[in-house]
Structure 1
Amino acid sequence: MQNETVLGLSKLDKAIIIIGGPLLGAIIGWFIQIILSWLTKIPFVPFGPFFEWIATWNSSWVSIIGVIVGLIAGILFVLYAFSESLKMTITDQAVTMKRYDKEVQLQKRDISAIYMDRKDIVVLGQKGEEMYRSYTDVKQPKIEAAFLELRFPWKSEDPYQSDYQRWVPEHPDFSASVNSLLAAREEALKEEDKKEAAFLRKDLAAEGAVIRDEDKRQYVRMI
């Protein structure tokens, strides 16, 4: 019989999200007129005239509509929170990562190391390439225990930590294409465009470059 461990949102986390999201939305909706009246008193608040107009509506209808809208917003938040959370299914032979309905299965035989980079879980291949990286809410001790129990190559830190070089524009050790991608990614990091930075990380991986970020500074190692 194959062993299996699933890591992700705990039952308590799920209960808090399922109950708390719609409930908070409904409460905000019920008191929306009071909240809007308070917002209109703040100087230069955006959409001030629109808020004042809503505040003049019949209070009972505004509250009822606000509760309905709040409940819908809360349910949408629950769906987003569940899809955004990383689910890891670990067996004797493989680990399956699922996030945003995208599922990736990684075979144990292809993995050389698994470690945590702050709140990201990172999986490296046999050549040191980055096979997978994703943010997770699960605490490191729980992740470590699960992978060690099923005999995956868990590491306390990046085994290639000493191989990284801090990137500077036109770095002489990197190709023109890598330097160009790193320049674009640095700009994305400055603008806090996480989505673009993630796409560029994948483009750099295709060029054989593995990236480690520290305070919006990029450190690079080539495979």
Structure 2
Amino acid sequence: MNNETVLYLTAGEKALIIIAPPVLGGLLGWFVPSVAEWVITLPFIPFQGVLEWIASVESEWVSVLPVMIGVIVGIIFTYYVFTESLKITIRDEEVNLSVKNNRQNIKKRELSSVYMDGKYLVFLNKHGEELYRGRPESKKELVIEAFSQYEYPWEDRDPYEDHYQRWVRDHPDYSRHVNALLAAREKALKDLETKEAEVLRKDLADLGIVIRDKGKRQYVRMGTER
């Protein structure tokens, strides 16, 4: 018996992701000439010359080429969705988390808490430090059921919810290095650089700093033994 549970995209979701984007991209491409013909009637539209050329050329390629481009864009989008989707494999003694080419194994004995922070699944170690944070593809109810079935230390809320404090620049409770990373992350949040903000969150987690975002404001705490 294979004693594991996998939380990932369902078969129906996979089929929809594979089929829908290329089909929609192709359909949008097919209507490009008609859209161009309509757009050139609007005032103050840039690239009028290009649009007029697209609308006036009578050739199969005027429709076929945008369809091909739309399908290719749809395929690229499908690939992106699959690579960005988190796959969670739960076993009796460990949980495997896989997204893109990154894999992380967390032993059950290392954990003090597992909980949902909004749409994100969070794992804390025995010192209350964040081991992993990711967005599961399965519904919250299925996530709770799966981890409870394998007797992981599931919590209905963040057990350290009352320990966070609003971070301000040059906070006296944190080192110069930590304050510099938090300042860089605040700037990334304001500039909507989500990837950079996540990288900095992980860097701070390695230092024992746990972050909760409220809009573009950061609320932080340290692990219990830091």
TM range (shorter): over 0.9
**TM-score normalised by L of structure 1:** 0.92
> For residues 122 and 45 of structure 1, do their structure 2 counterparts lie closer, same or farther at Cα, with a shift above 3 Å needed?
farther
What does residue range 43-58 of structure 1 map to in structure 2 within 5 Å? 47-58=47-58
Report how far residue 179 of structure 1 moved.
1.3
1:197 equivalenced with 2:179 (yes/no): no
Aligned residues: 223
Number of the residue aligned with 1:83: 83
The more displaced of 50-59 and 83-92 is 50-59
The more displaced of 57-66 and 106-115 is 57-66
For residues 220 and 161 of structure 1, the distance between their equivalents in structure 2, rounded to whole angstroms, comes to: 10
Give secondary structure in 1 for the equivalent of 2:20: helix
Is the contact made by 1:33 and 1:59 (CA closer than 8 Å) also made in structure 2?
A: no
> For residues 139 and 163 of structure 1, do their structure 2 counterparts lie closer, same or farther at Cα, with a shift above 3 Å needed?
same
Give secondary structure in 2 for the equivalent of 1:142: helix
Give secondary structure in 2 for the equivalent of 1:123: strand
Is the contact made by 2:7 and 2:136 (CA closer than 8 Å) also made in structure 1?
A: no
What does residue range 64-213 of structure 1 map to in structure 2 within 5 Å? 64-213=64-213
Deviations for 1:164-194, whole angstroms, at most 9, x for unmatched residues?
Answer: 1111112121122111111111111011100
Report how far residue 197 of structure 1 moved.
0.4
- Aligned sequence identity (%): 49
> For residues 124 and 30 of structure 1, do their structure 2 counterparts lie closer, same or farther at Cα, with a shift above 3 Å needed?
same
Question: 2:3 is aligned with what amino acid?
Answer: N
For residues 46 and 136 of structure 1, the distance between their equivalents in structure 2, rounded to whole angstroms, comes to: 42
Question: 1:114 is aligned with what amino acid?
Answer: V
Report how far residue 48 of structure 1 moved.
4.7
Deviations for 1:62-115, whole angstroms, at most 9, x for unmatched residues?
Answer: 111122222222121111111111111111111111111211111111111111
Structure 1 residues without counterparts, runs of 5 or longer: none
Number of the residue aligned with 2:216: 216
Is the contact made by 2:116 and 2:122 (CA closer than 8 Å) also made in structure 1?
A: yes
Deviations for 1:11-47, whole angstroms, at most 9, x for unmatched residues?
Answer: 1211211111111011111111122334445555565
For residues 72 and 177 of structure 1, the distance between their equivalents in structure 2, rounded to whole angstroms, comes to: 45
For residues 184 and 162 of structure 1, the distance between their equivalents in structure 2, rounded to whole angstroms, comes to: 25
For residues 128 and 222 of structure 1, the distance between their equivalents in structure 2, rounded to whole angstroms, comes to: 8
Question: 2:21 is aligned with what amino acid?
Answer: G
